[in-house]
Structure formats: structure tokens, C-alpha cells
Amino acid sequence: MVTRPSLNLTLLALLLAVLASLLDWVPPGQALSLTGSLPILATTLCQLAWHHHHQALARWTGLAILMVLIFALASFLIPEHWIAHAAWNRLAERLIAGSLIVDWRPPLLVILCLIMLIASLLVRTRANLGSPQLQAMTALLLIMQGIETWHAPHLLSLAGSALEQAALWSLLAAQLSGVAANWRDHFPGLKRALSAGVLLTCLTLLFWHQQKTLVESNLRADTQVQSQRLAENLSREIHDHLQAMQRFANSWELQDSLPAEAQWARQAAPYHRDFQYFLNIAFIDTDSRIRRVYPASATNQRLLGRRLFDAQPEGRSAQGEALFSGRIGRTGIIELLQGEPGIIHYLPILDDDSQGPRGAVGMVVSLPVLADTLFRQTNANHFGLSLMTLDQTLAEREAIARVAAWQHRSSIDLDGLSLTLVSRPTLSLLLSRLSRQPVVSLTTGLLLAYLLYMVLFAHHHMASQQRLMVRSNRELRHEVRNRTRLQEEVEWLASHDDLTKLPNRRHFMQVLERHHQTRPLSLLICDIDHFKQINDTFGHLQGDHYLKRIGELGREIIESAGGVFARYGGEEFIACLPSHDAVMARDIAEHLREAIQHLDLRQADGRPLTISIGVTTQMDGELQIDALLQAADEALYAAKAEGRNRVIIAPPPSAPAGSSP
């Protein structure tokens, strides 16, 4: 549903996405950083197209963006041993020289948010396709982005910039404002499924955050150990060279005179070769003059004969230690005569008759060269390195690849002198070692949360459908029962007399037809005597009462004889007695007449109520209903004519013409 607020919010998202893109933009050739803002901008345009009813355009752009985002997500998910991080970087390199995959890939949480937003746009506002769950997940992912931004600097850029996050919130709000009214009707059905889905999403995000923190801190500890090892190597190197040089100094103790130049060069050469960071190895006499130096480079030659006390006042105390006290002396970090920072060790050459030092061996260690020698042992693709004092960078080795925001500081002990080695692991190194497990858990958890919502929603939908069906079934059964009862009532009314509840004439005729083979078959027609006077005297209601009483009694007597008693019309009743001959029928008719006479019913003149009965019997032959009725009626007429309150037997009905006797 497109509403004015939702359109406005999408336009706001567009503005924010454009601003984010402009702020992120850097000239081509440099590292690209449109990673988050560009897909947000594309999604906003897609949503705008949807708002303007260009559904097909919105659908196809949405699908295209979705494909790109899924590809980017795959680079987070695929294990290193399937596709190495270097391969992803090579792919990025092909797109723009010097770029890395991280320059192209939007932050993880932005990718997930955009996938949810586009998916919910594609399923429109349909709750049964999971739109509410997708939007709830987007909101939770955005909250997580806020936490990530506020929390701490992290290894990977997982969250978008503040502007990108604001644009994403606007997109979500635009979608929500269009559908809120629509969902209000669905809310009872949504409630359970949505709360379960949201709960699982929250748990997934918390679990992911915990896992990610653990993985990153392990990785940090890993690189810290590596960096520490480097520092230890450096310390060991210094220690080793000191020992070696001590041996070198000791080798001159037996010699009384000044070492010959060639001899000095011959003996110093292997040390210089092994420890390339020695700028020179010099023989210094007790007057602190440099008398021999190796290598004999032009710079070193210029030092010959110079008095170090004057030339290097900073090193005076160290020289004094070696030349006068006979102990190893070491300068701090000083500016060397060669113009670079370094340390000079002075190793005394003692006289064999213990007359004090005869001189000292001076070893000039260039710290940049020392650091460089060590730095060369590490891969420049993995670490950027710096060797530092408290306030000065002595040597630096830039990493070839881009470094991460992390840096490790390890202290180095240079024979009592404390330095710091700062190492900065490269992004490529960290990403290639980073476990994919947290991202896999996050993606799987979100997928499961969506599926859980779908299952619960479908279950609720099916359950309510079933409830509806059961209710309709019950109503239908009730309706069928009602109709059957009505039908029975109608049928009963059609075949019975409403006043006396006796079978009516039509029903009686059907009964009679059913006995077309029963012989003998007797028929009785009964008529109340002077009923008109009863009506006239006592009223019709009383007349009705008489009719009912006679009906009840007649039914009792006739049915107990196996016959059927029915109302014939007006104050007349009719009965059939199957398998009763004329004598048996007459007896029953007499019994009926007498029983009525003994009822407590009175005629208008006070005498007991009486009836007259005409009886006829068909003994054999084909059933002749009309003839039987005619005969019984005539017998009744005769009974009336003879004074009423009597039973007259009609002669058997004559056979119809043509029938055999």
C-alpha cells in the first residue's frame, strides 16, 4: 500500500543515500569505498519505482540487487580452503587495480539488511510470505549495527556509516508505514509466529556477536603471539651478537701490540658478514682514538684517528666503562657519526698481566639496519612493522597490503635498553585466517527464524481454517437435522389429522391399498350422533374435545385388534380391520360403540354420547375400495335412519361387472 508518509520516507532515504555516497566517494584509482552507500542507493531507487507503481521495474531491479548482495554474502561465507581470500582479492584487482575485496564488499550487516528489505519489498505486504518477519529482522539488524558502531572498533567493517544506517532506517520506516494498517487485521495470527521469529532472531544475533567477539579476540591473540615472537627474535639477535663480539674482543687479549690492519680486517670480516647491522667494528685505544676500523669504507676511513671522547660525547661514559673499568659499556640510542640512530657497544680488551684494558672493541649497531634485517624475515604481505623508542620511530617497514585497524606493541630488550616493536597485521592476513563460523551461524539463524515464522504462521492459518471448517460442519449437521425434522413434520402433517393426531383419509387410503391381498378385510365408518347439536350447545371447542377423546379411544380399540383407525372427515371416523370377517368386525364395532357410550361425554340433551357405525367386509376377490366405502357408508346411513347408536352390517359388496363370482 502506498501512502504519503511512506513515499516521503523513501525520498528521505534517497537523500541520505546520496549524501552517504558523496561523502564516501574518492577519485577512481584510489581505494573504493562506495561499498555500503551504493547498494543502499540502488535499493532506495528500487523502492521508489515500487511506490510509483512500476512493479515490474522494481521487481527486476530488486532481483538484480539481490543477486549481487548474495554474491557478496557468499564471499563472507565460503570457507578459506574452498576459495582463498587471495582469490577474492585477485577478482577485486581485476575490477580496479590495487583494490581489495573489502573495497567492493558492503559491510556484512548492511548486506543482510538490504537482502531483508528487498525480499520484503518483493513479497509486498503479504504476511503469509513472511513480510512482517523480514521487516522485524531488518529492525533488529539495524539495532545491532548501532551497537556495533558504538561498541568498539572491529576487524571488519560490519556496520554501515551513520548516514547509511539512517538511510536504512528510513527505508524500513517507509515499508512499515505502508503496511501497518494492513497487518492490524492479521495481528492475532501474526502475534505468535512473529514473537517466535523475533525471539530466534535476537538469540541468533546475540550468539553471533558472542562468537564474533571470541573469534576476533583469538585472532588478535594469534597475531599478538606472532608479533611477540618477532620481538623476542630481535632481543635474541642482540644477545647473540654481544656474545659473539665478546669472543672477538677476547681474541685480542693475548696480543700486546696494536692489531695489524689486515689482521683486524680478516678477523672482523666474518662478524660483519654475519651481523650486517654493524656499521663498523673498530679498535679504540685507551685515549679513545679509533685506530682500526672494518669495513674500510670511505666513511669509516674518515673516522680513523678521531678521538671518540670528543667526537661522541654522548658515548663517553660507555667508553669509560670499557677503557678504564674493564667492563662492557653500551651507549643509549644515540645519533651515530654515520648520521643514523644506533647503539655502540664497547668491549674491553684486557691486558693479560691485568694492567687494565689495552683498548676496546667498538661495535656500531645501526638500529634501522638491525630492524630491517629482522623485518626482512617477515612477510610484508602480512605485517607492517615499526621499531620505536618512547618518542621516536627508529625504523619502519610498510606492509605491501592494506593494514587493519589493529596494532600490537611488544617490548624488546636490547641488552637492558627497552624498545617497542609495533606490528600492524594486514587485512588480507586477518581475513584469510578469520573463521567463517560466526557469519555462517548468523545467516543460518536468520534463515531459521524466517522459516520458523512461516511454519507457525501457516500452522495458525491452517488451524483457524480447520476450526472454521469444523464450525461449518457442525452448523451444516444441525441444519440437516432441522430440515429432516421439518420434513418429517411436514410428512406427518400431510398424512395425519392435526386435531386428533389420527391418520387422515389420504393416509388411510394408502394403508388400505397396502392390504390389497388381505382377505377377509373389514371396513368401519363411524359417525357421532347429533354432533351439530353438541357444537351448537357446548361450543366448537368442546366439540373438538369430543372428537379427540373418541379418536383416542377408537385408536386404542382398533389398533389392539390389529387395525388402523383414522379420521375420515368432519365428525366421521373410519377403520380397517385386516383378516377380520363380518362377525369379528361387528363385535369390534359393537365394543367400540359401547365403549364410547360409556365415556363421560354427554349429548346436548344430557344423554350419553353415542355413535353409529356402518360395517362392511370383503371376503375374497380383488380389493374394491370404492365399493367397500360405498357399502359401509350405506350401512352407516341405515344405522342413522334406524335411530342411531347402532352397528349395521352391510351386505358384501357386489363384484364389479366382468369379474368372476
Ligand X SMILES: Nc1nc2c(ncn2[C@@H]2O[C@H](COP(=O)(O)OP(=O)(O)OP(=O)(O)O)[C@@H](O)[C@H]2O)c(=O)[nH]1
Q: Is the dihedral angle over the CA atoms 218, 224, 225, 227 positive or is it negative?
A: positive
Residues 6+ apart with CB under 8 A from 450: 130, 133, 134, 137, 197
Distances (CA, A) of 7 to 39, 44, 134, 330: 19, 11, 20, 75
- In the bound state with ligand X, the residue whose beta carbon lies nearer, of 157 and 500, is 500
CB of 590 to ligand X, least distance (A): 19
Residues facing 519 on adjacent strands? none
- In the bound state with ligand X, the residue whose beta carbon lies nearer, of 231 and 547, is 547
Q: How far apart are CA 619 and CA 627, in angstroms?
A: 13
Interface residues with ligand X (CB under 6 A) are: 499, 527-533, 535, 540, 543-544, 547, 570-571, 640, 644
Residue that the C-alpha cell 580496479 belongs to: 96
- Do residues 171 and 43 touch, judged by C-beta distance below 8 A? yes
- In the bound state with ligand X, the residue whose beta carbon lies nearer, of 209 and 505, is 505
CB of 488 to ligand X, least distance (A): 24
- In the bound state with ligand X, the residue whose beta carbon lies nearer, of 327 and 540, is 540
Which residue of the chain is nearest ligand X when measured via CB? 543
CB of 660 to ligand X, least distance (A): 38
**Contacts of 138-146 spanning 24+ positions with Cβ under 8 A:** 138/113, 138/168, 138/172, 139/172, 140/198, 140/201, 140/202, 140/205, 141/109, 141/112, 141/113, 141/116, 141/205, 142/113, 142/168, 142/169, 142/172, 144/109, 144/205, 144/209, 145/109, 145/110, 145/113
- In the bound state with ligand X, the residue whose beta carbon lies nearer, of 29 and 569, is 569
Distances (CA, A) of 197 to 115, 468, 550: 17, 26, 78
- In the bound state with ligand X, the residue whose beta carbon lies nearer, of 247 and 532, is 532
Pick from 518, 524, 512, 525: which is nearest to 619 by CA? 518
3-state secondary structure of 524: strand
Q: How far apart are CA 263 and CA 196, in angstroms?
A: 86
CB of 582 to ligand X, least distance (A): 24
- In the bound state with ligand X, the residue whose beta carbon lies nearer, of 57 and 638, is 638
Q: How far from the centroid of its chain's Cα atoms is residue 184's Cα?
A: 21
- In the bound state with ligand X, the residue whose beta carbon lies nearer, of 449 and 639, is 639
CB of 471 to ligand X, least distance (A): 47
- In the bound state with ligand X, the residue whose beta carbon lies nearer, of 306 and 530, is 530
3-state secondary structure of 14: helix
CB of 614 to ligand X, least distance (A): 12
CB of 543 to ligand X, least distance (A): 3
CB of 492 to ligand X, least distance (A): 19
CB of 519 to ligand X, least distance (A): 31
